[in-house]
Chain A
């Protein structure tokens, strides 16, 4: 092959392709391409629904907090749950923003990086959701009060209540630290990610490839 004449060989390739592919322009005129489902639409919907759900949860807990003022245990539990739902809502907003910002007519390295970020974001979401673990007592307090009108703090041994929180602090810190995209291929992380581990790992590697490509 004539290396110096590559562009000429390439243009012959184009001619051959033009001959072998027929674009049905008549059909293109008839099809309402606007109605085509975008790949991103389902992702937008998932995040919008997550956001809507956690917003309802957040405002419900906020209402609970206000209406149970000034009983300390109910107010503290309500505030913890409101904050938690708020953090998850914030994550969903960030994720939605990321998806909506993707513009396929943007520069290739930039758009590809954005797309990989969307894939990796599932790890960060999960991390935020797990932050509630040491505070699960807040759930117990609120649920028992709402469903059975029982103040669990009054009934339970205070030592037991404190232990419940302390016992889960270390495992939560450990999970939080280890739950990162670089560990996505580990069995337990992959299980938590509902089998998306390898995809996240690939996304992470592709991000590195793009960075390397940009640096030259």
Chain B
């Protein structure tokens, strides 16, 4: 009985990862310095999502839950300067395979935008990702725990900076 429940939870989880993997990739990509780092980070996010999977609070949207976990893990990972390898699960096979480096595939616009995002500090980077993903100001405010008006002010400031940068 318990095994059936576990299997069903596991299947739900994998279905969720499949559906929202785009969010995970984009966030991991924005907070990693290399494709290897990105692989580690995607793995860390998935593990954290799994360990928090049972505690999902339905009063928030499912995407809010994913954004919060992915951003919290990514910011923590990004700020860490100690080797983190010892905390990952030893695997003979790779969970993630980035067959081509991200840079190889990027068009000029994407490269510029990614470059700009990586220039932002950790918190503003999170805000920018949420904005670019098309989230409402209310949704961004829920993920970051800042006021809706603050979200609006920050977004327009970042956009102004971006305009200034690409005018040059």
B-binding residues in A (CB < 8 A): 1-3, 6-7, 9-10, 12-14, 16-25, 27-29, 31, 33-39, 103-112, 115, 199, 202, 206, 209-210, 213-216
Q: Which residues of A contact B21 (CB under 8 A)?
A: 18, 23
A16 x B68 contact (CB < 8 A) = no
Q: Which residues of B contact A109 (CB under 8 A)?
A: 123, 144-146
Docked CA distance A110–B56 (Å)? 17
Docked CA distance A7–B110 (Å)? 11
B145 x A31 contact (CB < 8 A) = no
Question: If A109-B144, A209-B123 touch, does A31 touch B91 (CB 8 Å cutoff)?
Answer: yes
B26 x A17 contact (CB < 8 A) = yes
Question: If A1-B109, A22-B97 touch, does A213 touch B17 (CB 8 Å cutoff)?
Answer: no
A-binding residues in B (CB < 8 A): 10, 14, 17-18, 21-22, 25-26, 29, 38, 42, 46-48, 50-52, 55-57, 65, 68-69, 71-73, 75-76, 79, 81, 84, 87-89, 91, 93-102, 104-110, 112-114, 121-124, 126, 131-134, 142-147, 149-150, 153-154, 159, 162-163, 166
A9 x B79 contact (CB < 8 A) = no
Q: Which residues of B contact A19 (CB under 8 A)?
A: 100, 105
Cβ 8 A contact of B113, one of A13, A17, A111: A13
Docked CA distance A213–B25 (Å)? 25
